[in-house]
Amino acid sequence: MHHVTLGLTHYELSAQYGLRDRMQLSLRVPYDVKAQHVRYSTLSGAPYVPPYGDIHHRTETLTGISDGMMTIDWSPQADWIVGFGTSLPVGHIVPNPIILGREGKKHEHIQFGSGTFEPDFAVQWSRGKLFARTEARISLYENREGFRAPNNYLWSAGPSFRFGRVSFDPRLQGQYQTVGKWNGETDEGTGFNNGGIRLGVSMPYRGMIFGAGIYRELYSRGLSEETFKQGTTWSLSATRTF
């Protein structure tokens, strides 16, 4: 049994520029720190040292820029926002780890991008104290290493409250991810359906808006042989409008 824990610290710089009334251009550039810890055990739970060493999974920390995102957001009506755009394949990708593993060669499973342009579509609705959003990122083709990224479908919904200058946003949110493929073979670690609750708070201060959030998973189900479970996730944000 391979027991893999991945600690992800995700930094994101984003900018929005108003093109005209009810329309803006958005650009997001992420930087990720991925700290992986691995241990092996027998099926009975006893510690195990694999004879092939660390060619497969290993304890390591990787850093780098991940795929960016460029979108255009348009508000056809007061309550609606429609977004469409594409990912920007600037993140590091790796050779096919399934083939290298069969050859007994050291390989890497962690990537920072898909190596392809992936269309992204989003629809958001809000009225009064209610909010709902759905988003889909679709993979259309394989990258140069034979990897086809999974499709990702995200949703969130909930109310919002304001007490003085402080806003509170409790939301249910979730994600459905299909299975990624390496030349038609299943990519480990992809394919799951999960959801949870996120509690967010924000307030303005000296021309900026500062926010914080905490996410707690309520359910998770893997679509392939692997099981996926997301730990408690914290977020911080700072926004400035010019």
- In this prediction, residue 223 has a pLDDT band, given cuts at 50, 70 and 90, of confident
Residue 69, CA distances (Å) to 8, 15, 19, 80, 110 in order = 19, 11, 17, 21, 20
What distance in Å separates the CA atoms of residue 49 and residue 51, rounded to the nearest whole number?
6
pLDDT at 18: 94
- 168-193: average pLDDT: 94
What's the start-to-end Cα distance of the chain, in Å?
Answer: 52
Token pair recorded at residue 148: 């086809």
What confidence tens digit (pLDDT) does each residue in 22-74 have? Answer: 999 999 999 999 999 999 999 898 999 888 888 988 999 999 999 999 999 99
What confidence tens digit (pLDDT) does each residue in 3-24 have? Answer: 889 999 999 999 999 999 999 9
What distance in Å separates the CA atoms of residue 134 and residue 172, rounded to the nearest whole number?
12
Residue 217's contacts (CB-CB under 8 Å, 6 or more residues apart) are 194, 195, 196, 229, 230, 231, 232
pLDDT at 17: 95
Of 94, 90, 96, nearest in space to 116 by CA: 90
What confidence tens digit (pLDDT) does each residue in 190-222 have? Answer: 899 999 999 999 999 999 999 999 999 999 998
CB 1 within 8 A of CB 40: yes
Sign of the torsion formed by the C-alpha atoms of 58, 59, 61 and 67: positive
What confidence tens digit (pLDDT) does each residue in 69-121 have? Answer: 999 999 999 999 999 999 999 999 999 999 999 999 999 999 999 999 999 99
pLDDT at 50: 86
CB 101 within 8 A of CB 128: no
No. of helices (H) and no. of strands (E), the chain: 1, 16
pLDDT at 29: 96
pLDDT at 189: 80
Does the pLDDT value for residue 224 go beyond 80?
Answer: no
Residue 47's contacts (CB-CB under 8 Å, 6 or more residues apart) are 39, 40, 41
What confidence tens digit (pLDDT) does each residue in 125-172 have? Answer: 999 899 999 999 999 999 999 999 999 999 999 999 999 999 999 999
pLDDT at 225: 66
- Residue-wise DSSP of 35-103: EEEEEEB-TTS-B---TTTTSSS--EEEEEEPPEEEEEEE-SSTTEEEEEEEEE--S-----HHHHHHT
pLDDT at 12: 95
Does the pLDDT value for residue 227 go beyond 80?
Answer: no
CATH topology of domain 2-240: Porin (2.40.160)
CB 203 within 8 A of CB 210: yes
pLDDT at 53: 80
β-strands 119-127, 80-88 pairing:
antiparallel
